Structure 1
Amino acid sequence: MNTPFHKWAAISAAAILTAAVALSASAAGPRLEQAFKRPPASARPWVYWFWLNGNITSHGITADLEAMKRVGIGGVLIMEVDQGAPLGPVGFMSAEWRALFKHVASEAKRLGLEVNMNNDAGWNGSGGPWIKPEQSMQKVVVTETNLAGPRRFEGTLVQPQTVAGFYRDIAVLAAPTPGAFRIGRINAKAAYEVAHVGVETFTNLPPEMVIERERIVDLTAKMDANGRLTWDVPPSQWTVLRFGHTSTGVENAPAPVSGRGLECDKLSKEGIEANFAGMMAKLAADNGLVAADVSRLKLKGDQSGLTSAATGLETRFGLVATHIDSWENGSQNWTARMRAEFRQRRGYDLLPFLPAFTGRVVGSHEITERFLWDSRRTISELVVENYAGHMRALAHKHGLRFTVEAYGSPCDNLPYAGESDEPMGEFWIPSGGAIETCRGMASAGHVYGKRIVGAEAFTAADQEKWLEHPAAIKALGDRAFCEGINRFVFHRYALQPWGSPRGITAVGTDARSRTDIPRGEDRRPGMTMGPWGQHYERTQTWWDWTAGWHEYLARCQFMLRQGHFVADICYLQAEASPQGLGGHERNGYDWDDCPAEVVLTRMSVKDGRLMLPDGMSYRVLALPDSPTMTPALLRKIKELVAAGATVIGPRPAKSPSLSGYPQCDEEVKRIADELWGDGVMENRSDATRTTDSSTPTLQHSTALFPQRRFGAGRIVWGITPEKVLAQAGVPADFTSRPRLRAIHRATDDAEIYFVANSKPHDVEAVCTFRMSGRQPELWWPDTGRVEAAAAWEQEDGSTSLPLRLEPAGSVFVVFRKGAQPADPVVALSRDGKPLLPPATPTPKITVQRAVYGVLDDPPRTRDVRAKVQRLVDNGEDSFKVARLAEGDDPAQGAVKTAVIEYTVGDRRITVTGRDADTVHLPEFAPSIVVQRAVYGVLDDPKRTRDMRTKVQRLVDAGEYSFQVARLAEGDDPAFLVVKTLIVDYTLDGKPVTATGTDPETLYLAQPPVPVVERVAEVRRGADGKPQFSAWQPGRYEVKTASGKTQRIDVAALPSPLEVRGPWEVRFAPGWGAPGKVTFDALTDWSKHPDPGVKYFSGEATYRTTFRWNHQSQIANRKSQISLDLGKVAVMASVKLNGQDLGTRWKPPFTVDITRALKRGENTLEVRVVNLWINRMIGDEQLPEDSERNPDGTLKKWPPWLQQGKPSPAGRYTFTSWRLWKKDAALRESGLLGPVTLRVAEQVTMSGR
């Protein structure tokens, strides 16, 4: 029976159908495929390259850059910081420093690497010793003097706060002294701090609490330069306010002393000009850059993203960009021209409203809040235009492009990002912290036409400690790709000043080398960037094993720069500066956030679609859940609807601004009445199903929901965008069962979907794509293999196909024009039992009850069952509880609780959590009761905490595993010390004890890992014919869409052969292990009795022999033999009979050995590398060799290091910040196995 794949809930754990033939398509098809297989240098990942506190050498620079080139790194983002390393000899921006930087640029050109230089020392903002106080960030300061009239006052007003020796007066105002009422959250509303300000509820205040505008007296001219005021005070009580501005005092950080200074003014062009002149202009001149160079930098780039040979565009190497990183500078609310800028932008004078900066009310509560809204908006615009926009202009003038992490500032994030050439987000290991910045910056890239969106990738706190490696972080990286990132900048690589380059040409005469940082041999792991970030240097044990990982990333980044992102929904952000980054559900329909600026200046309508000039388009525009909108924006919304757009959202009631008040409110009401009418529902019955991402229109729905026609378009309200799309006949763009992550891009010639499995085990899923009439292809980024899918089904404008993905596996599913569909397989059975379609669907989470709010107060509680079900259906089985407040906060300002009851099959599970918690909805439900949980330095009661309640809360929220260091959040019992957690608990009534240290993940209970057994698969050979492979015997039947059936009998297959050894193991010399050890059976190095093996870190080679005698005897059949290494800690490479079969940097550690295997005796060599941890713990058993602070930092460089000698204590490792103690647990290491050979029988089938 032909059952359409898209109706299958999941695929059985018994079958997988893929393909193995490269196809040709349109003219661009072969070029795209060629570049995918061999991605251009521009697609390679970068690293944050941290220089530590003046410890810089030319030979270290060259060795680092050569090491990066060797493994496939494409560029560096340089920052110099002070993070725990003793002070080095090279002062920031000194003549020597600049010569070394010139050496960097020269070497990067030689090696084909790109260099991006942060625009100051440290990692936040823009500043340095060249910034004068008057050029620095400014804030409003005020003093007040209370006077009683009538009288003549002659006296000196107290000067407001002075910072950095700088102060200037703004104005002196007097007003009748009002009552005690002050506006809440005034520091946020007056932009003294960076914080989102939501919709306000205005209070009708009694007159005595309000300052009438007409009674404010401007006394500025009556005060002399010394602050002496002469004034005839009228009758009554008066308050005199002296307003001025001074520096905020914020400095760039964490910078070395030689590069530290005030942060520049972000609201004036003069501020960033001073900063640029102090540093980047000099570096650009040193390296001979001119404005013409920027034309060759691919700022938007050829949309194909193909190699320079294919496009004719030049990719420049050396110094190519400058960067602004994290905004960690606080806020500023004044600049010298603030009053003039405000009047020009808002149309009125801010002077009478200056008392609002103290929280006082002028005119009325609403009028004052409107002024403060205008003030924040003006600040946002000035940051965007005068800081970010002018920075880009300066960069381009000097031949550089401009990158920025555009969030956390007192401005709207997306317009800030839009002023860059490449916006950047960030995400943190282990759990993806700050991943929302990736989605936000991707939205900015899409709506402002930026082809490359970067990310500070795999950032970490001090718990990483050399624990991570490519396989451990791949799933999180794939998640970032699915958020829209297409350039990883690894955080981080610390410059290694020691060691010699490998086989390089002589260093140029302009490079300088220090004698007080000896060349010597490498110090491993060497320099660190404090305890922070992932340790991603050439001194890693596995560094030279990462070429395949970087090639994987380059293929992904190349493909994810093709064409345009496909999104159905454009979410308009509210006009409320500073506007942060949104988050919306993805129920099969993807989205972008969009600021009002883009709608006003870049958006149009064509054939019913909302269009942007760079090629992006959307089916619907969703309005924010806000009662306010400026008249200008609402006029543009009206224009878009009249032109044919579908706009979804509530009617605004008034303007948020004081500009044009009160006429502005009247205009908003008039336009809203035109668009929304009287709210009466209109309905149509002319729905049209769309078939692919290029379909330009969204027709009207047959469903009953509030909507109103206006011109050629319509306004819809009271319904989600996803429902509007679905009821209008638009299928979901991507769905899968079980849930997988995905992102979709489209070119003129191809639809490109990236699909990723986030689970640590094999997953078999059925995926449905909004595409029909084309052959689906599988492009595997880990190998570069391109295949035609062998099994798929097309129906109702969609294509469904089964996918088998390895642990954390991923694939591009590509639909190319001109690729003619073959006759796909639609059914497969074994011994009469169906493998396709599957017999049993994957269990589905069904939310039975979900309540959220202040649970003992029903008016402040909401039923959120539908909202939670949508999250679950969207594949989000964990989320922060506070997300349930989005759009309908039941108790603003209160900490709320969620209780969620759900079923999986016949199991009923309940989880609870509070706003700050992340709840997890696992598909298993152990009963865990925490009896005792103690955390800290366990032999020191003063540095220990009782964590029973906190651990029980995690368990109650469905989190049965967590990183131990999370318990320090909010109450760290021993800062910068590795702490231990002991938990005594019962698991389903049985007593259990678990223990772990900060960097470790503690598992109180683990779900059963699904075993996805491989039984059979069908692929297509190079001749286009299907090829059938079976791992188990049986009578198989294969059916295709055309009705053809083929039966295949597979007799008994050889049982898996385990290679048991004995194993001769040779350890790399110089790291404490014996040269050769024999293992009778595979064992964990950390459990070996020999301390040299137990504490070994590095590479070792296993060697053994085994016999093989099987050979297929059936005509038209052959065997495929795979070698499965089992468990490996952490990477392996394989040779069989002298043939190099490649490196495996991630599980499964399986190799096809069919061609290398021979009958009789075979020789197997497996080279393995582990992590640094064991050797560093082993060294802690030895005497001290350097003077250290309690947190592991050096007090000074040890003399033996400066002299280029080995450690006098016999230690093997050296690092500038020690993070391991002698009693820490060792890590599994080596080849752990079992090592097994498995046989599949292969049959070439008839037909195509």
Structure 2
Amino acid sequence: PGEGASVSHLLGQPVVPAESFTAAGDGWRQHPASMKNQGEWAYAAGINRFVYHTFQHQALPDSLRPGMTMGPYGVHWDRNQTWWSMSDAYHRYVARCQYMLQQGRTVADILYLAPETAPFAFRAPASAYAGNHPAMPDRKGYNFDGCPPSMLYKAEVKNNLIVFPGGATYRILVLPDFKTMTPGLLEKISGLVRNGATVVGLPPEKSPSLSGYPECDQTLQALVQELWGAGEAPETLATRDCGKGKIIWGQELRKEVDNLYPHYDITARILAGQIPEDFHAEGNVRYTHRTLNGADIYLVSNRSGKPVSEQCAFRITGKKPDLWHPVTGKMRALPEYAEKDGQTIIPLKFDVDEGYFIVFRNKAGKPESKINFPEKNLLLTLTAPWTVSFDPKWGGPESIVFEQLTDWSQNENPGIKYYSGTAFYRTHFDCPSNENTLYLDLGKVKNMARVKLNGTDLGVVWTAPWQVDITKAVKNGDNELEIEVVNLWANRLIGDEQLLDNEKRYTFTTAKHYSKKSPLLESGLLGPVTVRNVK
């Protein structure tokens, strides 16, 4: 998404849409939790409106499910998904994220200028990215955009910053290691430097155009001498003052070329002399930052695949931090933070794939505790048997007792082993008198769940932490708990492949995705289900 997001930022376009979650051979394996990490990677990369691939029109009767497909393509984002009735919880999360990320403008420090050549696809230095996933690299602490040469003509300089009409603002312009540049573009760069801009790069050697040849090369060289001087490039980085701005150059830039640009560490070293990183953590957290009148918004997201605690540094001072959680919609102040060297340091905790917004304003919300993340202590574990009801229409038993929580795909009953759809788990538990905030923790869920306690619908749980606040619904003594759990289509499709051609099947699709030898997917409520309290 680098090019599209960059151009949107330069234009001041608040909405950056993209085809999202494009897939082939998915076979209904994806669900909101499995897509969350990739989605927040896209948000951090600058996308703020998902266009799902694909939303297949389902024109067939409801008895013919999963129904119509686009062959093997897409994540099947349509009403025939097993979990579609619970998808509103995920869609509200997406709506909250996208609304937040369409406010104000993106903060970036580095503007990489693309060369004047065609065809050309902008690629930032590989060293400017962090993370261990090659297909989903995350930006390091100094964010960046790429700039087509034609758009640089719209830029001006304000307070030594490069500013575009739409509001996009950058601290330095980095030139590509490219031998050609038109005199007109270099003249524009010269004007930016003389008005206060900082430019990093080596001088071009000639014009790529025959327009005005050979005078164009002479004009270019005259501009080069004005900006870089007449001598050879120094071995190490050197700064040359030009008007109100400066040129930073040296052979060091060419020795460590990375996708046409200097290695990120060189650029970061230059910026570190002026300003700290916009965001810093020890490698487990991705980010993006937007700024608007009176507030700064950071999305921070755990990319490690495991729970983490991080000391996160934000390039903000003089404002108070709130945590706005897009999954729950809850907003609360963070009482633990400190300011140091132009940054606000906040201790943060993340569950698996968890992300949320840190919002800095002059006035914070109300804290829920004296610490940012109070411990949720184990109060009790639910050990009573569960009465589980499957839908016989899809091959499951109408009622069965589970003495303990187990994976459906490992059950000896083929109606459970190959079941796809919704099942209701019901049990009772006694809760001791407690005045603290209480949470029901579902443990492991495959793949989504809706919780009802004493008849009160507490909502859908679709991602970590797999918890709901039960404080207002729980009673001292006996409590009636119902957990509606839904898995994916794969197991029923695989089960139908075990049948002979003349046997009645439960499912229908317009494209075959599984064979009878395909592995079954883990399914159901696996727990342990516990009650936890926060003092």
TM over 0.5: yes
Q: How does 1:475-554 map to 2 (within 5 A)?
A: 475-499=37-61, 521-554=62-95
The letter of the residue matching 2:30 is: E
Distance of 1:1234 and 1:589 partners within structure 2 = 42
Aligned to 2:391: 1068
Distance of 1:531 and 1:1028 partners within structure 2 = 44
Q: Please say if residues 116 and 149 of structure 2, whose CA atoms lie closer than 8 Å, have aligned partners that are also in contact.
A: yes
How far the C-alpha of 1:607 sits from its partner, in A, is 1.9
1:1214 counterpart (495, 508, 533)? 508
Q: How does 1:352-367 map to 2 (within 5 A)?
A: none
Distance of 1:756 and 1:1029 partners within structure 2 = 19
How far the C-alpha of 1:619 sits from its partner, in A, is 1.0
Q: Please say if residues 649 and 716 of structure 1, whose CA atoms lie closer than 8 Å, have aligned partners that are also in contact.
A: yes
SS at match of 2:216: helix
Aligned to 1:713: 245
Distance of 1:1028 and 1:733 partners within structure 2 = 24
Distance of 1:807 and 1:1030 partners within structure 2 = 16
Distance of 2:51 and 2:59 partners within structure 1 = 21
Aligned to 2:475: 1158
1:666 counterpart (208, 215, 218)? 218
Q: How does 1:811-822 map to 2 (within 5 A)?
A: 811-816=356-361, 818-819=362-363
Distance of 2:27 and 2:443 partners within structure 1 = 26
Larger radius of gyration: 1
* Mapped pair 1:802 → 2:347: yes
Q: Aligned pair in 2 of structure 1 residues 1025, 471: CA closer, same or farther (>3 Å)?
A: closer
Q: Aligned pair in 2 of structure 1 residues 734, 1141: CA closer, same or farther (>3 Å)?
A: same
2:146 counterpart (584, 593, 599)? 593
Q: Please say if residues 476 and 758 of structure 1, whose CA atoms lie closer than 8 Å, have aligned partners that are also in contact.
A: no
1:1099 counterpart (422, 426, 439)? 422
Q: Please say if residues 284 and 303 of structure 2, whose CA atoms lie closer than 8 Å, have aligned partners that are also in contact.
A: no
1:575 counterpart (97, 116, 130)? 116
Distance of 1:681 and 1:1221 partners within structure 2 = 64
Q: Aligned pair in 2 of structure 1 residues 1149, 1031: CA closer, same or farther (>3 Å)?
A: closer
* Mapped pair 1:1081 → 2:404: yes
SS at match of 2:312: strand
Distance of 1:562 and 1:622 partners within structure 2 = 27
Distance of 1:439 and 1:1027 partners within structure 2 = 34
How far the C-alpha of 1:1150 sits from its partner, in A, is 1.5
Can you list the C-alpha shifts for 1:1147-1199, whole angstroms capped at 9, x where unaligned?
Answer: 222222233222222211111000001111111122336xxxxxxxxxxxxxx
Aligned to 2:257: none
Distance of 1:667 and 1:484 partners within structure 2 = 38
Distance of 2:191 and 2:527 partners within structure 1 = 66
* Mapped pair 1:625 → 2:177: yes
The letter of the residue matching 1:618 is: Y
SS at match of 2:349: strand
Aligned to 2:500: 1183
Q: Aligned pair in 2 of structure 1 residues 1031, 1078: CA closer, same or farther (>3 Å)?
A: closer
Distance of 2:225 and 2:111 partners within structure 1 = 23
2:448 counterpart (1101, 1113, 1131)? 1131
Q: Aligned pair in 2 of structure 1 residues 1087, 647: CA closer, same or farther (>3 Å)?
A: same
Identity level (%) = 46
User: More relative contact order in 1 or in 2 (CA 8 Å, sep 6+)?
Assistant: 2
Distance of 2:372 and 2:78 partners within structure 1 = 44
SS at match of 2:394: coil
Q: Please say if residues 284 and 308 of structure 2, whose CA atoms lie closer than 8 Å, have aligned partners that are also in contact.
A: no
- The unaligned stretches of length 5 or more in structure 2 are 129-138, 254-265
Q: Please say if residues 1057 and 1236 of structure 1, whose CA atoms lie closer than 8 Å, have aligned partners that are also in contact.
A: yes
Distance of 1:1170 and 1:1025 partners within structure 2 = 39
SS at match of 1:1070: helix
Q: Please say if residues 348 and 372 of structure 2, whose CA atoms lie closer than 8 Å, have aligned partners that are also in contact.
A: no
Distance of 2:6 and 2:231 partners within structure 1 = 32
Q: How does 1:110-189 map to 2 (within 5 A)?
A: none
Q: Please say if residues 336 and 371 of structure 2, whose CA atoms lie closer than 8 Å, have aligned partners that are also in contact.
A: no
Distance of 1:448 and 1:441 partners within structure 2 = 11
How far the C-alpha of 1:448 sits from its partner, in A, is 2.3
Aligned to 2:519: 1225
Aligned to 1:441: 4
Q: Please say if residues 572 and 594 of structure 1, whose CA atoms lie closer than 8 Å, have aligned partners that are also in contact.
A: yes
How far the C-alpha of 1:705 sits from its partner, in A, is 3.3
Can you list the C-alpha shifts for 1:914-953, whole angstroms capped at 9, x where unaligned?
Answer: xxxxxxxxxxxxxxxxxxxxxxxxxxxxxxxxxxxxxxxx
Distance of 1:1137 and 1:528 partners within structure 2 = 40
SS at match of 1:530: coil
Q: Aligned pair in 2 of structure 1 residues 804, 1028: CA closer, same or farther (>3 Å)?
A: closer
Distance of 2:170 and 2:375 partners within structure 1 = 45
Aligned to 2:299: 754
How far the C-alpha of 1:802 sits from its partner, in A, is 1.0
How far the C-alpha of 1:746 sits from its partner, in A, is 0.7
How far the C-alpha of 1:525 sits from its partner, in A, is 0.4
How far the C-alpha of 1:667 sits from its partner, in A, is 1.3
Can you list the C-alpha shifts for 1:502-553, whole angstroms capped at 9, x where unaligned?
Answer: xxxxxxxxxxxxxxxxxxx442100001101111110000011111111111
The letter of the residue matching 2:104 is: G
Q: Please say if residues 285 and 304 of structure 2, whose CA atoms lie closer than 8 Å, have aligned partners that are also in contact.
A: no
How far the C-alpha of 1:1030 sits from its partner, in A, is 5.0
SS at match of 1:1184: coil
SS at match of 1:589: coil
Q: Please say if residues 438 and 533 of structure 2, whose CA atoms lie closer than 8 Å, have aligned partners that are also in contact.
A: yes
Can you list the C-alpha shifts for 1:1094-1139, whole angstroms capped at 9, x where unaligned?
Answer: 1111000011112233x35xxxxx3333221111110111112222
Can you list the C-alpha shifts for 1:22-45, whole angstroms capped at 9, x where unaligned?
Answer: xxxxxxxxxxxxxxxxxxxxxxxx
How far the C-alpha of 1:680 sits from its partner, in A, is 7.9
1:732 counterpart (268, 272, 277)? 277
How far the C-alpha of 1:679 sits from its partner, in A, is 4.5
SS at match of 1:548: helix
Distance of 1:804 and 1:766 partners within structure 2 = 9
Distance of 2:217 and 2:428 partners within structure 1 = 85
Structural RMSD (CA): 2.0
SS at match of 2:221: helix
Distance of 1:541 and 1:1031 partners within structure 2 = 32
Q: Please say if residues 681 and 708 of structure 1, whose CA atoms lie closer than 8 Å, have aligned partners that are also in contact.
A: no
SS at match of 1:593: strand
* Mapped pair 1:1234 → 2:524: no
2:24 counterpart (433, 437, 461)? 461
Q: Please say if residues 110 and 145 of structure 2, whose CA atoms lie closer than 8 Å, have aligned partners that are also in contact.
A: yes
Q: How does 1:781-796 map to 2 (within 5 A)?
A: 781-796=326-341
1:604 counterpart (119, 134, 156)? 156
Distance of 2:314 and 2:188 partners within structure 1 = 34
The letter of the residue matching 2:58 is: Q
Distance of 1:1225 and 1:681 partners within structure 2 = 62
Can you list the C-alpha shifts for 1:395-440, whole angstroms capped at 9, x where unaligned?
Answer: xxxxxxxxxxxxxxxxxxxxxxxxxxxxxxxxxxxxxxxxxxx121
SS at match of 1:459: coil
Can you list the C-alpha shifts for 1:1063-1099, whole angstroms capped at 9, x where unaligned?
Answer: 1111123101121111111111112121111111100
Distance of 1:1030 and 1:646 partners within structure 2 = 48
Aligned to 2:136: none
SS at match of 1:731: coil
SS at match of 1:767: strand
Q: Aligned pair in 2 of structure 1 residues 495, 554: CA closer, same or farther (>3 Å)?
A: same
